[in-house]
Amino acid sequence: MKSITKKRIIILTIVIVLIAALFPFRNDLRDGGTAVYEPITKIYRVDDMYRFYAEKDKPIGFTVGKVVYIFGNKVYDSSRVVYDDRINGQNAKQ
């Protein structure tokens, strides 16, 4: 009787640890506001981007959106560059 209860406790503990290993931790990058969500197991990664964007050392705008990776392969990408006239002046898109 005691061995069955002990086995159940061990199995329950293993299941809880495996589920906990899938919950992501948030890492904030210093690139304008990007947050990277990634669990300990590195199975997936979600980048919530708000990144400063520049071309040839000239500020243009921000890259915003979400990118999802599973096993290192990009499966979803909604990132885009948002041009900011406050940075570039009136002729930002020329």
Per-residue pLDDT of 44-83, as tens digits, reads 999 999 888 777 777 778 889 999 999 999 999 999 988 8
- Please identify which residue in the block is written with the tokens 């002990």: 6
Pick from 24, 25, 26, 88: which is nearest to 62 by CA?
88
Using the predicted structure, report yes or no on whether residue 25 has a pLDDT greater than 50: yes
User: Averaged over 32-41, what is the pLDDT?
Assistant: 91
Per-residue pLDDT of 7-22, as tens digits, reads 999 999 999 998 989 8
Other C-beta atoms lying within 10 Å of the C-beta of residue 43 = 14
**Rounded to two decimals, what is the model's pTM?**
0.72
Provide the token pair at 73. 């392969």
Question: Domain residues of the chain, as ranges?
Answer: 24-88
Half-sphere exposure (CA, 13 Å, Cβ side) for 34? 18
By DSSP bridging, strand 73-77 and strand 35-38 are unpaired
Q: What pLDDT does residue 49 have? A: 92
